[in-house]
Structure 1
């Protein structure tokens, strides 16, 4: 097989690779805050779609009722 280590990446993949490398540490691990920032939007979207907002409001109103507010 040909030696592939010296090849350059196509233009679109270079940008994608640079975006994927955002927040990585020298050891190749991503900073925890960067990981949270990547996951949080998807988690919120999935939570809204699955109806967690209604559950949270129901829990908050029952707690407020128990506290007498």
Structure 2
């Protein structure tokens, strides 16, 4: 019985932490385009700040080449 109540308490703490951070646990998954739209601005910012445009262009052309085959 003590083991079960311990697990329940840990679950409650996890849910509390998730809601404290403003998030929620959901069984649905995010659409890949939504994920890209979320990450792309940060990726562009990092490329500009650290001067990695050449690496970005190289990787993008590699991916485009693989998708084109």
The TM tier, using the shorter chain, reads 0.3 to 0.5
Structure showing the higher helix proportion among its residues: 2
Radius of gyration: which is bigger?
Answer: 1
